Amino acid sequence: MRRTIRVACILLFVPCLLVSLGLAKEKKLRSCSEIWTILLASGKSYKIKPSASLPEIALSDYAKAYFPLQGEHVLHPVIEKKADGSPAIGKMKIDPAALRQFSQADNVFMNAEYDKAMRLYQKAIALSETCYDAYLRTGDCFLFVKKDPQQALAYYKKALAVNPNDYRPHFFCGNACCALGDVAQARRHYLEALVLKPRDNTLMAVLEKSQADLHVRLQLQTFAPKALARMEQGAVTIYLAEKKSIEDVAWLSYAAAKAVHIGEKEQPDDAWSMHDEKEAIGCLLYTYRSQLEKKKAKPVAYLERLYRIANGGLINEFIIYEIMAQMYPDVVLVLSEPMKQSVKEYVKRFVFVAEP
User: Which pLDDT value is given to residue 266?
Assistant: 54
Q: In angstroms, rounded to a whole number, what is the distance separating the alpha carbons of residues 67 and 5?
A: 7
Strands 227-232 and 235-240: antiparallel
CATH 1.25.40.10 residue spans of the chain: 91-196
Q: Which amino acid is present at 328? A: Y
Q: pLDDT averaged over the chain? A: 90
pLDDT at 161 exceeding the cut of 80: yes
pLDDT at 296 exceeding the cut of 50: yes
pLDDT at 270 exceeding the cut of 70: no
Strands 46-50 and 235-240: parallel
User: Which pLDDT value is given to residue 314?
Assistant: 97
Count of other CB atoms within 10 angstroms of residue 126: 12
Using alpha carbons, select from 263, 284, 262, 283 the residue that is nearest to residue 273: 262
pLDDT at 185 exceeding the cut of 50: yes
Q: Per CATH, is 91-196 categorized as 3.40.1280.10?
A: no
Q: In angstroms, rounded to a whole number, what is the distance separating the alpha carbons of residues 350 and 353?
A: 6
Its pTM surpasses 0.75: yes
Q: In angstroms, rounded to a whole number, what is the distance separating the alpha carbons of residues 179 and 249?
A: 47
User: Which pLDDT value is given to residue 20?
Assistant: 38
User: Which pLDDT value is given to residue 10?
Assistant: 27
Angle at 48 between CA 45 and CA 53, to 5 degrees: 120
